[in-house]
């Protein structure tokens, strides 16, 4: 685990970890806000996206199979460290499960007291905001709260709770004492 006080400190660390490697990103919004995408591109690092906002199957497969996959999670339990990821097409979940190396970048806005809180934070604090900003027609886009809907636009189609890294995988959790993304 790595801990940083400021986002500005995280970007150079991540760029160093990615040099000479192919990189898959599971969140283009948060990493774009951080300036991480620009920093990788300035270094000429091969970059692919697996986020819902960029629906390109060929690129998603490339991202999932990159030598390092970097993503955030919707929520993490302070008590147990359990991490919650919800996805509409499970691309970020696939990257987190299948990559040889996974780096989770988590801002303080994603920390919850326990697993139930991490799930709730993911559904209301993360997915609901994506639904609203993306113009999806779901109850959570309107109310900001999960209604466990059956909408055709539903984003909560796959949930992954990671208690520990998969066997044989190398994972690093990067905690940042600032808000990152939604």
- Please report, for the chain, how many H helices and E strands are present, in that order: 8, 10
In which band, very low, low, confident or very high, does the pLDDT at 125 lie, cut at 50, 70 and 90?
Answer: confident
To the question of pTM greater than 0.85 for the whole model, the response is: yes
Mean pLDDT along residues 52-60: 68
Query: Which residue, chain included where needed, has tokens 């760029």?
Result: 15
In a domain, 133, yes or no: yes
SS3 for 65? Answer: coil
In a domain, 182, yes or no: no
In a domain, 10, yes or no: yes
**In terms of residues, how long is the chain?**
182
Mean pLDDT along residues 56-72: 86
Tokens of 146: 């999960």
Higher pLDDT: 4 or 74? It is: 4
Q: Which of 4-13, 32-41, 110-119 has the lowest mean pLDDT?
A: 32-41
In which band, very low, low, confident or very high, does the pLDDT at 15 lie, cut at 50, 70 and 90?
Answer: very high
User: Could you tell me if 76 and 70 are in contact, meaning their C-beta atoms sit under 8 angstroms apart?
Assistant: no
In a domain, 18, yes or no: yes
Name the domain count of the chain.
Answer: 1
- CATH of residue 168's domain is 3.40.50
Domain boundaries, position 31: 2-176
Tokens of 30: 């948060």
Mean pLDDT along residues 138-156: 87
Query: How many whole angstroms separate alpha carbon 166 and alpha carbon 120?
Result: 24
In a domain, 30, yes or no: yes
Please determine, for residue 53, whether its predicted confidence score (pLDDT) is greater than 60. Answer: no
Buried b (16+ CB within 10 A) or exposed e, 105-141: bbbebbebeebebbbbbbbbbbbbbbbbeeebebbbb
């Amino acid at each position: 685990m790595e801990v940083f006080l400021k986002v500005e400190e995280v970007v150079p660390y991540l760029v160093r970890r990615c040099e000479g490697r192919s990189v898959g990103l599971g969140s283009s919004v948060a990493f774009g806000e951080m300036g991480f995408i620009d920093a990788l591109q300035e270094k000429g690092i091969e970059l692919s996206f697996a986020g819902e906002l960029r629906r390109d199957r060929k690129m998603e497969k490339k991202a999932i199979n990159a030598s390092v996959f970097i993503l955030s999670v919707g929520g993490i339990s302070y008590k147990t460290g359990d991490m919650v990821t919800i996805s509409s097409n499970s691309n970020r979940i696939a990257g987190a499960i299948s990559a040889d190396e996974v780096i989770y970048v988590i801002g303080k806005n994603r920390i919850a007291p326990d697993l139930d809180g991490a799930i709730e934070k993911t559904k209301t604090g993360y997915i609901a905001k994506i639904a609203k900003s993306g113009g999806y027609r779901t109850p959570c886009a309107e109310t900001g709260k999960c209604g466990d809907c059956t909408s055709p636009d539903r984003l909560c189609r796959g949930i992954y709770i990671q208690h520990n890294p998969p066997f044989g995988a190398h994972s690093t959790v990067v905690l940042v004492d600032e808000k990152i993304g939604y």
